[in-house]
């Protein structure tokens, strides 16, 4: 795909060290902000120095990389820190399906960062006063809930249809998602949701890019210089009602053939995707347990060293979509998703994160999230379907995943 890049006029970015902010998210002056925060560290931004909507198609990551390259090269940078996240930064959110053209990149006018005991402020052009709140966050208030594209029984029938396809050998795994709608009386302020998510799910990456708000536990890739890290999550169970129940559920998950099979597909694909990019790559032989506030996951941390100069977006392009959000084989799984979900996922289950002018960055998979549109919120939850999947159990798992954003909206 060849598309003329709409690159903004020459920008100037200035980074200065600042005193450590008490809370990054509390600095956001408006609801239309961007954020990527975990354990109080990360980046938040507001205002727009540049923004682009990325055309759909198989070449969309290359198109985005070209726009970023020309934009960053046209930016005059004053950055004494030169650490990941300092200087100009683009926040991005890509659609799950390459056919969709709603992916977006945003370079904020003001960016506040915190990492490893250092804090900084980057302003691009006239960034304005970073500490002046224009409007205080307001609670969404009472919500009205309604089914999304499919009702619960309809979605269970889709799961059953997927199981049949798997048992007949069409594919090994497919991830099916549901959506759920919430309606408030007034526009929903993303800052309220971000604060609740960060406090309740500190192990996850709390994010907001162009109205897609969530707390994902899944790190698709982090690049720091030539080093990369990824966290593969596949295989899930709900938390128990007490410590003994928790322990029993954890043991069952670690021994579950269905969940281990699902996890095996995901780790094998990540290994296959990253091996051509890396001089060294370490993938665990067996998963460990990641315990969150609402669920437990099978998890495999992956680490590698790139074989040459590649940006974090190059690695994102190689990894997406992983079997953790699509299935295997990928092409067949995506075709079945289009057929059985009967909806456009939009940016749900797509890559979300940030990239700086050096190519460093952090990108997750947009899970446990909602897309905001004024007073409306569209929530998403997905489950990995394999030959032994039970539709009722998958529905219960999806409902447990919805609770993350239901909590953020209702408090």
Q: Which residues are catalytic?
A: 173, 218
**Backbone torsions φ then ψ of 49, nearest 5 degrees:** -80, -30
The secondary structure of 269-293 as a DSSP string is HHHHHHGGGEEEEE--SS-EEEE-S
Cα(306)–Cα(75) distance, integer angstroms: 26
- Kindly list the distances between the CA atom of residue 7 and the CA atoms of 58, 75, 352, in Å, as whole numbers in the listed order: 21, 11, 21
Q: How many H-runs (helices) and E-runs (strands) does the chain carry?
A: 8, 23
> Residue 47 and residue 33: Cα distance in Å, rounded?
7
CB 404 within 8 A of CB 180: no
For residue 300, what are the contacts with CB-CB under 8 A and spacing of at least 6? Answer: 231, 232, 263, 266, 267, 283, 284, 287, 288
Nearest by Cα to 189 from 145, 141, 132, 127: 141
What DSSP element (H or E) covers 249?
Answer: helix 243-255
Cα separation, 16 vs 113, whole angstroms? 10
**Number of residues in the chain:** 411
SS (H, E, C) 151-200: CHHHHHHHHHHHHHHHHCCCCCEEEEEEEEEEECCCCCCHHHHHHHHHHH
Region of residue 87 (left: phi > 0; alpha: psi -120 to 50; beta: else) = left
């Amino acid at each position: 795909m060849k598309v003329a890049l709409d690159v903004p006029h020459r920008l100037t970015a200035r980074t200065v060290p600042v005193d450590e902010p008490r809370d990054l998210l509390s600095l956001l002056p408006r609801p239309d902000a961007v954020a990527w925060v975990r354990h109080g560290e990360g980046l938040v931004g507001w205002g727009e120095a540049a923004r682009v909507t990325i055309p759909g198609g198989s070449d969309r990551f290359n198109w985005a990389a070209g726009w970023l390259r020309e934009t960053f090269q046209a930016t005059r940078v004053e950055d004494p820190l030169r650490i990941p996240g300092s200087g100009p930064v683009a926040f991005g959110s890509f659609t799950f399906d390459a056919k969709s053209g709603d992916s977006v990149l945003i370079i904020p006018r003001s960016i506040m960062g915190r990492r490893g005991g250092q804090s900084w402020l980057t302003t691009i052009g006239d960034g304005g006063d970073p500490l002046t709140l224009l409007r205080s966050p307001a609670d969404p208030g009472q919500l009205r809930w309604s089914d999304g594209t499919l009702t619960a029984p309809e979605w269970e029938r889709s799961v059953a249809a997927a199981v049949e396809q798997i048992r007949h050998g069409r594919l090994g795994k497919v991830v099916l998602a549901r959506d759920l709608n919430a309606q408030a009386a007034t526009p929903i302020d993303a800052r309220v949701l971000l604060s609740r998510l960060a406090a309740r799910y500190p192990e996850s990456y709390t994010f907001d890019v162009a109205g897609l708000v969530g707390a994902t536990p899944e790190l698709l890739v982090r690049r720091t210089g030539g080093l990369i890290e990824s966290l593969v999550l596949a295989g899930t169970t709900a938390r128990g009602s007490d410590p003994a129940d928790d322990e029993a559920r954890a043991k069952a998950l670690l021994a579950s053939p269905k969940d281990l099979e699902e996890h095996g597909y995901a780790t094998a694909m990540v290994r296959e995707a990253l091996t051509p990019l890396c001089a060294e790559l370490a993938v665990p032989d067996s998963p460990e347990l990641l315990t969150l506030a609402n669920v437990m996951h099978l998890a495999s941390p992956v680490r590698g060293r790139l074989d040459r100069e590649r940006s974090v977006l190059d690695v994102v392009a190689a990894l997406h979509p992983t079997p953790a959000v699509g299935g295997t084989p990928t092409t067949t799984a995506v075709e079945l998703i289009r057929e059985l979900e009967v909806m456009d996922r939009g940016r749900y289950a797509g890559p979300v994160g940030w990239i700086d002018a050096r190519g460093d960055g952090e990108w997750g998979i947009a899970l446990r999230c909602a897309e905001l549109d004024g007073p409306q919120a569209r929530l998403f939850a997905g489950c990995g379907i394999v030959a032994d999947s039970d539709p009722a159990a998958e529905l219960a798992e999806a409902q447990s995943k919805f609770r993350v954003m239901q909590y953020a909206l209702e408090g």
